[in-house]
Amino acid sequence: MTRIAAAFERARLENRAAFIAYLTAGDPSADATVALARALDRAGADVLELGVPFSDPIADGPVLQRAAQRALSAGTTLEIVLSAARRIRRDTNLALVLFSYLNPLLSRGIEAVAREAREAGFDGALATDLPPEEAGAYQPVLRAAGLDTVFLVSPTSPASRMREAARLSSGFLYVVSRPGTTGARASLSEDLEATVGRARRAAGSLPLAIGFGISTPEDARRAASLADGVIVGSALVREAERAGEDREEAVGLLARSLVLACRRESQDCGRKPSC
């Protein structure tokens, strides 16, 4: 069982959804990223998506765009991301997902990235702009290195794409809660339950995790009632941005409130399309 699979199994046995956090590596520094990862671990997070900053983050909203720019301005490279991952692997129990656009991975070489990521302590990889139809040359290389591969589906994904994304995924299938870019929203989509239901039919026993737009305990509670995992990125990055030097405490407090919201009140809530 991989570390990611173990995180979801542990959450299932504890009658809760796994909490998956996202950080942009190097924002505002590698040391700050490692410190924030430790704070998330103490708060009860299960999985950390560690983002590789990219100059053209087309899927990201303003919060994550600013984070990527700060990280790039600080000189963050893929090598620095890997170095930060080694420190996080040493200091925490978090399962780690390398979260990147495809271009930085291709620039270094997929084979090299897969090997180095696994050696650095990553447990999985997600290329946010790699559709399943074009993954044939990449997914086997990542899996051969011992990395889980995570693909995304959205409310606009047809059944065929959901099935293919689920077939290529291990660890979990990432369900985008709504079309558009990342970023906190006032509320989750009204058709989220239908999207999760379609993804569940495609995924079978593969865990589902909902991301994009989750920012409050209320959002997390609703997502936890529908899926096996809850993903929060922009809200945590925004909190770190707002808090400045107090970022570790602020992010830890927010994460703890979201982790608590992932608990389920009834054993009947786990893997149903609604609860």
Annotated catalytic residue within 60, 164, 219, 248: 60
Q: Determine the average pLDDT of the residues in 76-103.
A: 97
- Position of tokens 């963050």? 76
Give percent of the chain with pLDDT exceeding 90: 87
Task: Say if residues 205 and 252 touch (Cβ distance below 8 Å).
Answer: no
Domain map of the chain by residue range?
Answer: 3-269
- Would you place residue 189 in the very low, low, confident or very high pLDDT band (cuts 50, 70, 90)? low
Average pLDDT over the chain, rounded to an integer: 92
How high is the pLDDT of residue 265? Answer: 74
- Beta carbons within 8 Å of 112's beta carbon, 6+ residues apart: none
Cα-only R_g, the chain: 17
Verify whether residue 56 is a known catalytic residue. Answer: no
Beta bridge partners of 173: 208
Verify whether residue 9 is a known catalytic residue. Answer: no
- Beta carbons within 8 Å of 173's beta carbon, 6+ residues apart: 150, 151, 153, 165, 166, 199, 202, 203, 206, 207, 208, 209
Annotated catalytic residue within 27, 41, 46, 49: 49
Please name the CATH architecture into which domain 3-269 falls.
Answer: Alpha-Beta Barrel (3.20)
Predicted confidence (pLDDT) per residue in 37-46, tens digit: 999 999 999 9
**pLDDT at 181 exceeding the cut of 70:** no
Give, in order, the Cα–Cα distances in Å from 139 to each of 98, 115, 133, 210, 246: 14, 13, 11, 22, 39
Nearest-angstrom CA–CA distance, 220 and 20: 11
Q: Which of 181, 260, 179, 251 is nearest to 218 (CA)?
A: 260
Task: Say if residues 64 and 51 touch (Cβ distance below 8 Å).
Answer: yes
Q: Determine the average pLDDT of the residues in 28-45.
A: 98
How high is the pLDDT of residue 180? Answer: 52
Nearest-angstrom CA–CA distance, 21 and 96: 10
Q: Determine the average pLDDT of the residues in 203-212.
A: 96
How high is the pLDDT of residue 1? Answer: 87
Nearest-angstrom CA–CA distance, 236 and 84: 18
Beta bridge partners of 91: none
**pLDDT at 275 exceeding the cut of 50:** no
Q: Which of 55-69, 186-200, 243-257 has the lowest mean pLDDT?
A: 186-200
Q: Determine the average pLDDT of the residues in 144-155.
A: 97
Predicted confidence (pLDDT) per residue in 56-70, tens digit: 888 888 999 999 999
- DSSP annotation string for 185-240: -SS--TTHHHHHHHHHHHHTTS-EEEESS--SHHHHHHHHHHSSEEEE-HHHHHHH
Q: What are the tokens at 270?
A: 């786990």
- Would you place residue 176 in the very low, low, confident or very high pLDDT band (cuts 50, 70, 90)? very high
